[in-house]
Structure 1
Amino acid sequence: MSRLSKVLKISAWVAAFIVVVVLLQRYGIAPLQDAVKGMGFWAPLGLFLLRGVSIILPALPSSIYSLLAGSLLGFQTGYLTITLSDLVFCSTAFFIARRWGRGPVSRLVGASAMKRIDGFSKNQLEGNFFLMTGLLMTGLFDFLSYAIGISRTHWRVFAPALLISVLISDSILVAVGAGVAQGASLTLGLALLAMFALATFTGLMKRKAASKDAPHPPVHPG
């Protein structure tokens, strides 16, 4: 039942965003986009920093910035902005955790976020590159960046996993934002299908991580 409620909550957020953007498109998104274009370099920089703060302080929502980047900046600029922000700030979170460890991270992110980070730290992700990559594609990539750093994973292992996950997951959310804002039904449809496929894949990755953590029954000699 809890899994169903999570799916419904995510669906509600996506639906609400689509409704808001459609209304803005009909009654005033064009002036807003023109205003953003008039800001020049400062608009992408602002979204870059806001997304970065939401990664370093993972209690803040982060996915909304991918959707906003697509709708306000267009796919190309929005995708570049969000991708660069994720690469820079997830790497920063990783190095903070790897260099200073659990104590400073706990003081930075707070007790609630630290519980999630500790939960991921138990999965021994450093030993499974594909599981690490799959979980980084979820909306919990910010927590995972800290968890992987705490596990003392080497940068050479974390960097390619981060790059692959960011290039795939960011493209989907930014495409959704751009497709809704531009009324591009084909682009939006493909992006939503890709989002569903990604959600299914990451759900399997989470289940695999959970089963890896579950205690196994003792084996008695025959």
Structure 2
Amino acid sequence: MKIKRLLPYVFILTFVGLTVYLLSESISSDKVADIVKSTGPLAPLVFISLFASTHVLAPLSASPLLFPAFLLFGAKPTVFYMYLATVISSFTNFWISKQWGRSLVIKLVGNKNMQKIDEFTEYYGVGALIFLRLFSGYMTDFVSYAYGLTKIKFSVYFLISILVPIPWLLFWQLYVGNRVDGIKDFAVWVYIPIIPFVFITSLFIYKFKKKRSK
């Protein structure tokens, strides 16, 4: 892939990184933490529900929730709750897309283009899902909706979505969590999965376009 093709993704990556950093500096985390904390023993459930909803309603951002959760629960519990929320939202999005999405997409893009979408998924299919689940961290909303429009079996999607992110979760629990010192460290480590996600996604798009042009 030429360097020029990578430049837009580098700019996006830099922008996202700066946004995360600025949020960690400016967000009023104490206020959000107080709201979640006021729910008492249900605080983890409230956080999981709110975090999952930001993936179901894709325009919403989860960033304002992460830093208060870190202050309230600590690094390790927060990441574990994020994992649970991501699993819940990935199943929810897949189900929504499976139930109502395909008919709507066909009306929007037509049957011919829908066949191209299916061909793309069959070409990258399970392998692509494994890579995306492994490297995309908690950015799962569009992946879940997209795969809900494909022919992939729910059992396969279910197992991959639950099992593949576990290495990253264990890495957090056994290594990173013990070394996070403050909210800035937490923000950086949450941001790290975006790096391979951007490059791998761009590679998929590039290879697919190249295949179609043949």
Q: Does the alignment reach a TM-score above 0.5?
A: yes
What pairs up with 1:138-217 in 2 under 5 angstroms? Answer: 138=136, 140-167=139-166, 168=168, 179-181=181-183, 188=185, 192=188, 195-196=191-192, 198-216=193-211
Cα 1:33–1:52 change in 2 (3 A) is: closer
Contact persistence 1:121–1:147 (CA under 8 A): no
Partner Cα distance (1:40, 1:19) in 2? 27
Name the residue aligned to 1:115. Answer: none
AA in 2 matched with 1:150: L
> Percent of aligned pairs with the same residue?
18
CA deviation profile, 1:156-183 (whole Å, cap 9, x unmatched): 22123212454427976x959x6424x8
Higher relative contact order (CA 8 A, sep 6+): 2
Cα 1:43–1:157 change in 2 (3 A) is: same
CA RMSD across the alignment: 3.9
Cα 1:132–1:102 change in 2 (3 A) is: same
AA in 2 matched with 1:141: T
Cα 1:91–1:33 change in 2 (3 A) is: closer
Partner Cα distance (1:132, 1:44) in 2? 28
Which one of the candidate residues 19, 26, 30 is aligned to 1:20?
26
Partner Cα distance (1:90, 1:157) in 2? 13
What pairs up with 1:95-174 in 2 under 5 angstroms? Answer: 95-103=95-103, 123-124=120-121, 127-136=124-133, 137-138=135-136, 140-167=139-166, 168=168
Using the TM superposition, give the Cα deviation of residue 147 of structure 1 relative to its aligned residue in structure 2, in angstroms.
0.7
Contact persistence 2:96–2:148 (CA under 8 A): yes
Using the TM superposition, give the Cα deviation of residue 73 of structure 1 relative to its aligned residue in structure 2, in angstroms.
1.7
Partner Cα distance (1:56, 1:125) in 2? 25
Partner Cα distance (1:72, 1:104) in 2? 41
Cα 1:155–1:130 change in 2 (3 A) is: same
Q: Name the SS of the counterpart of 2:182 in structure 1.
A: helix
Contact persistence 1:123–1:209 (CA under 8 A): no
Gaps of at least 5 residues in structure 2 are 1-6, 109-115
Gaps of at least 5 residues in structure 1 are 112-118
TM-score, normalised by the number of residues in structure 1: 0.66
Contact persistence 1:70–1:175 (CA under 8 A): no
Contact persistence 2:93–2:145 (CA under 8 A): yes
Partner Cα distance (1:150, 1:12) in 2? 33
Using the TM superposition, give the Cα deviation of residue 78 of structure 1 relative to its aligned residue in structure 2, in angstroms.
1.8
Partner Cα distance (2:119, 2:68) in 1? 34
Name the residue aligned to 2:71. Answer: 71
Cα 1:14–1:99 change in 2 (3 A) is: same
Partner Cα distance (1:18, 1:162) in 2? 29
AA in 1 matched with 2:17: S
1:3 equivalenced with 2:9 (yes/no): yes
AA in 2 matched with 1:82: M
Name the residue aligned to 2:40. Answer: 40
Partner Cα distance (2:177, 2:33) in 1? 16
Cα 1:105–1:47 change in 2 (3 A) is: farther
Name the residue aligned to 2:84. Answer: 84
